[in-house]
């Protein structure tokens, strides 16, 4: 595992505007499967059959069964040291935004409040007719596919599927935070899904220093000022410790 460079600790201490982008890897140590890689969900399941508007139109029950299974898997899981470290960062900086591609809600469980969810949230459902969004944390869902209690139309998971645009507000906030930060931290993403993957590049081209935490190299590695190779929870624990040590 990488050592934590002193220059990075200094940069974290000096920064005033910090933006963090997370992907599935940040939740891996909590037990949430990632999408790509050896054990990734997309190795066993087809995104075309489960995570597109066409798939839902063709077989809403199948799509809901898969989401219901994932909700059951995620429900008992707890945030890890990386989620917790990231949650502490928002108190440290006057300007802070956490941008997550994850839909699992673990950042909120760790206490993060200043966050945008680029790909939605698995604990919310949306009426396909009215467009209304509601939280529904029942596991398993009592009825599959679930129906809107007001109008009876199909509900869908409030997540972004392949081929769908990202929520405009969330994307706008994310772009602004990428353009206006001095430190951009990228944790646990393969950085191959756009537009999220463009955010570190935008930050770097606007003068931010980029830090990557990932056991593997990614397309972000060449633009990162610091690449910390290892698991997010372990590295974040050491970062928190190093920050504490330099403080005292």
Q: Please give the positions annotated as active site.
A: 119
Return the DSSP state at 194: T
Cβ proximity to ligand OAD, 182 vs 185, nearer residue: 185
Asked whether position 40 contacts ligand OAD by CB under 6 A, the answer is yes
By the rule CB under 6 A, 28 interacts with ligand OAD: yes
Q: Give whichever of 117 and 182 is closer to ligand OAD, judged by the CB atom.
A: 117
> What is the phi-psi region of residue 55: left when phi exceeds 0, alpha when psi lies from -120 to 50, beta otherwise?
alpha
DSSP assignment string, 141-165: -SSSS-B-TTT-PBEEEEEPPTTPP
Q: Which two tokens stand for residue 193?
A: 């899904």
Tell me how many helices (H) and strands (E) the chain has: 10, 9
Whole-number minimum distance, CB 133 to ligand OAD, in Å?
17
Cα separation of 119 and 99, whole Å? 10
- Residue from 20, 29, 203, 238 touching ligand OAD (CB under 6 A): that is 29
Q: Which is nearer to ligand OAD, 53 or 148 (CB)?
A: 53
Q: How far is the CB of 245 from ligand OAD (least distance, A)?
A: 23
Q: Is 51 in the site for ligand OAD (CB under 6 A)?
A: yes
Binders in 68-97 for ligand OAD, by CB under 6 A = none
Judged by CB under 6 A, the stretch of 3-11, 61-69, 86-94, 207-215 that binds ligand OAD is 207-215
| Helix (H) / strand (E) containing 66 | helix 60-74
């Amino acid at each position: 595992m990488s050592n934590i460079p002193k220059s990075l600790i200094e940069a974290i201490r000096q920064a005033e505007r910090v933006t963090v982008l997370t992907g599935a890897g940040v939740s891996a140590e909590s037990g949430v499967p990632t999408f790509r890689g050896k054990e990734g969900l997309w190795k066993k399941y087809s995104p075309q059959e489960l995570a597109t508007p066409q798939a839902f139109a063709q077989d809403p029950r199948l799509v809901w069964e898969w989401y219901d299974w994932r909700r059951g898997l995620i429900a008992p899981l707890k945030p890890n040291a990386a989620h917790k470290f990231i949650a502490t960062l928002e108190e440290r900086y006057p300007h802070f935004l956490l941008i997550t591609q994850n839909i699992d809600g673990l950042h909120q469980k760790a206490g993060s409040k200043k966050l945008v969810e680029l790909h939605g949230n698995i604990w919310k459902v949306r009426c396909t007719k009215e467009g209304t969004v509601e939280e529904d944390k029942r596991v398993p869902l009592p009825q599959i596919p679930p129906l809107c209690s007001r109008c009876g139309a199909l509900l869908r998971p409030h997540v972004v599927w392949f081929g769908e645009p990202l929520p405009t507000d969330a994307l706008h906030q994310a772009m602004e935070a990428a353009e206006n930060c001095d430190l951009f931290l990228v944790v646990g993403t393969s950085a191959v899904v756009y537009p999220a993957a463009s955010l570190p590049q935008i930050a770097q081209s606007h003068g931010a220093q980029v830090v990557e935490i990932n056991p593997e190299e990614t397309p972000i590695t060449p633009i990162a000022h610091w690449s910390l190779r290892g698991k997010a929870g372990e590295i974040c624990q050491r970062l928190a410790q190093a920050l504490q040590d330099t403080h005292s």
